[in-house]
Amino acid sequence: VNELRKDILLGRWIEVLSESKAPSEYSVPEDQNPGTGCIFCPEGEHALQEIAAIRVDGRWQVRAVPDLSPLFQIEGELGRKGAGIYDRMNSIGADEIIIESPDHNARPWEAAEQVIRIISLYKSRMSDLSRDSRLRYILIHKDSGSRASYSHPVSRITAIPVIPKKVKDELDGAKQYFAYKERCIFCDIINEELTVGERVVFETRHFIAFIPYAPQFPFETWIMPKRHSCAFHEIDYPETEDIGVMLMTALSKLCSLFGDLPFSYFIHTAPNMIPRRNHWHTLGEDYHWHIEIIPRLTLAGSFELGSGFYILPTAPERAAKYLREVR
Ligand SMILES: [Zn+2]
Ligand SMILES: [Zn+2]
Ligand SMILES: [Zn+2]
């Protein structure tokens, strides 16, 4: 029989189908990658204002630039006000693009040293943006393959003046668990996963990659630091090196199973604490940053859209086994 499972962080239920789909039974959309006249390639680099970069022998290897069609603007006031019973404010924020490689056709996640540079630039951009007290949340995120807006490999940083709902739900879930047990829910999950073992994809000295007990999507993989820390940008250099290897391995394993599949990932970290310094009493203890990798294998149907209740065609334990077995 199929099984219903509850996500203890968000309190949401999912259904795991008993006949687990194998990787070969998913149809992966084709990827188009033309790459002519690309402004992210080194030939067009002078057209873009550089925010930050990491250079080797004078050539940039990763580079942060402003988004070409920003959703948010950095100048101005928030202008919060009521509109009848509703609330509104100006779209103050920052949109940056992290160019992950000078090479248009690179798959940056195939080389650990490049992933380490990308992570290092994420860290320095996040530290810098978190000094702006108008910005409540800074989300680092990436789309690859047919989901991406640009064919050049990039990831993005979006800093916004509100805490997004999904993060708020995690913060609330973690806070409730901490209030009840006086332990971090994520540290408890790590201990549980390492004890049980069947959903662990692999681990390094500082990180664990595993399939959550009740994920939203098949083959969804979470990477978590073993050391308790609420903020991504507080990672030290050994952890940066380690997570470079971790992210490279996790993405390469997915690509060996599914070919060049579209995927997304994002970093969930603590909100910017500067704007409301005395508001986050236990956040340092109850929240724990992590990366969620979502292979784009399925589309939500009407039941999922209408209920927020997701159907999982491959059991987490089976998915972890498939991923453990690829090299
Ligand atoms: Zn390019
Ligand atoms: Zn923790
Ligand atoms: Zn999360």
- Ligand 1 center to 60 CA (angstroms): 14
Ligand nearest to the CA of 185: 2
- Ligand 3 center to 85 CA (angstroms): 31
Other Cβ atoms closer than 10 A to 113 = 12
Alpha carbons 238 and 228: distance in angstroms, whole number: 15
pLDDT number for residue 34:
56
pLDDT number for residue 70:
85
Average pLDDT over every residue of 193-216? 97
pLDDT number for residue 79:
86
Average pLDDT, the chain: 92
Q: Report phi then psi at 32, rounded to 5.
A: -105, 135
Residue with tokens 């309190």: 11
- Ligand 2 center to 184 CA (angstroms): 5
Ligand nearest to the CA of 265: 3
- Ligand 1 center to 38 CA (angstroms): 4
Rounded to a whole number, what is the distance in angstroms from the first to the last CA of the chain? 32
The answer to whether 204 and 225 have CB atoms below 8 angstroms apart is: no
Average pLDDT over every residue of 186-211? 97
- Ligand 3 center to 293 CA (angstroms): 10
Q: How would residue 277 be classed by pLDDT, with cut points 50, 70 and 90?
A: low
Residue 227 pLDDT > 80: yes
Helix axes 165-181, 185-196, angle to 10 degrees: 80
Ligand nearest to the CA of 42: 1
pLDDT digits (tens, 9 = 90+) for 107-119: 988 899 999 999 9
- Ligand 3 center to 56 CA (angstroms): 33
- Ligand 3 center to 257 CA (angstroms): 24
Report the alpha-carbon angle 17-23-28, nearest 5: 110
Residue 36 pLDDT > 70: no
β 290-295/154-160 pair status: unpaired
- Ligand 2 center to 36 CA (angstroms): 45
Ligand nearest to the CA of 290: 3
The answer to whether 211 and 221 have CB atoms below 8 angstroms apart is: yes
Residue 193 pLDDT > 80: yes
Alpha carbons 189 and 213: distance in angstroms, whole number: 9
Which amino acid, one-letter code, is at 246? Answer: M
Ligand nearest to the CA of 102: 1
Q: Report phi then psi at 6, rounded to 5.
A: -105, 135
Secondary structure of the chain in HEC code, one letter for each residue: CCEEEECCCCCCEEEECCCCCCHHHCCCCCCCCCCCCCCCCHHHHHHCCCCEEEEECCEEEEEEEECCCCCCECCCCCCCEEECCEEECCCECEEEEEECCCCCCCCHHHCHHHHHHHHHHHHHHHHHHCCCCCCCEEEEEEEEHHHCCCCCCEEEEEEECCCCHHHHHHHHHHHHHHHHHCCCHHHHHHHHHHHHCCCEEEECCCEEEECCCCCCCCCCEEEEECCCCCCHHHCCHHHHHHHHHHHHHHHHHHHHHHCCCCEEEEEECCCCCCCCCCCCCCHHHHCCCEEEEEECCCCCCHHHHHHCCEEECCCHHHHHHHHHHCC
Ligand nearest to the CA of 41: 1
Other Cβ atoms closer than 10 A to 53 = 17
- Ligand 3 center to 268 CA (angstroms): 5
Neighbours of ion ligand 3 (CB under 5 A): 268
Average pLDDT over every residue of 290-317? 93
pLDDT digits (tens, 9 = 90+) for 37-63: 788 998 877 888 999 999 999 999 999
Neighbours of ion ligand 2 (CB under 5 A): 184, 186-187, 228, 288
Q: Give percent of the chain with pLDDT exceeding 90.
A: 74
- Ligand 1 center to 152 CA (angstroms): 4
- Ligand 3 center to 18 CA (angstroms): 26
